Amino acid sequence: APGWRISMLSILANPDVAYLLLTVGSVGLIAEMWLPGTVLPGLTGVICLLLAFYGLQMLPVNLTGLALLVLGLVLMVAELFVAGFGVLGAGGIIAFVVGSIMLFQSDAPGFGVAWSLIVVATGVMVAIVGAAVFMVVRHRWRLAAHGTERLLHLPAEVLEWQGGRGW
């Protein structure tokens, strides 16, 4: 009979558990990039990703599916930093879903990710990207709080004008 160590590590070889760890780890890293310095999401993300990689090495992984998952996550992270107005996020979501479906080789019976888990993980990713797009759009329409940008487009009285400059 296998010992407790082998039993615990064999749990990681379950496709659903490996996929869940991969998704939670990715969300943790995305949260750490979005809110730097919070430490807990990044630490949790790294631990979950390492456990997911251990589980994935024991499973018949389709490298194209894994590459699509990584591409989807990279595009979603890029959406947080680049003003793509949702285009990068939408592409990331599509790559994430297709990669989730293709993650394990289809010729291996019994290996695959549960549809319900794919739907929940995709929903979480859509919520993250949607929140990021909402915050970017809201920020674009807000006036600057301080600085010279705050004064743009406000009425003013010109006291003195010389050589293209005024007071």
User: Could you read off the pLDDT of 113-161 as tens digits, one per residue?
Assistant: 888 999 999 998 888 878 877 877 777 777 666 777 777 777 888 898 8
Query: What tokens appear for 39 in the block?
Result: 């430490």
* SS3 of the chain: CCCHHHHHHHHCCCHHHHHHHHHHHHHHHHHHHHCCCCCHHHHHHHHHHHHHHHHHHCCCECHHHHHHHHHHHHHHHHHHHCCCCCHHHHHHHHHHHHHHHHCECCCCCCCCCCHHHHHHHHHHHHHHHHHHHHHHHHHHHCCCCCCHHHHCCCCCCCCCEECCEEC
User: Taking the model in full, what pTM does it have?
Assistant: 0.75
Task: Tell me the pLDDT tens digit for each residue of 57-88.
Answer: 988 888 999 999 999 988 888 887 776 677 88
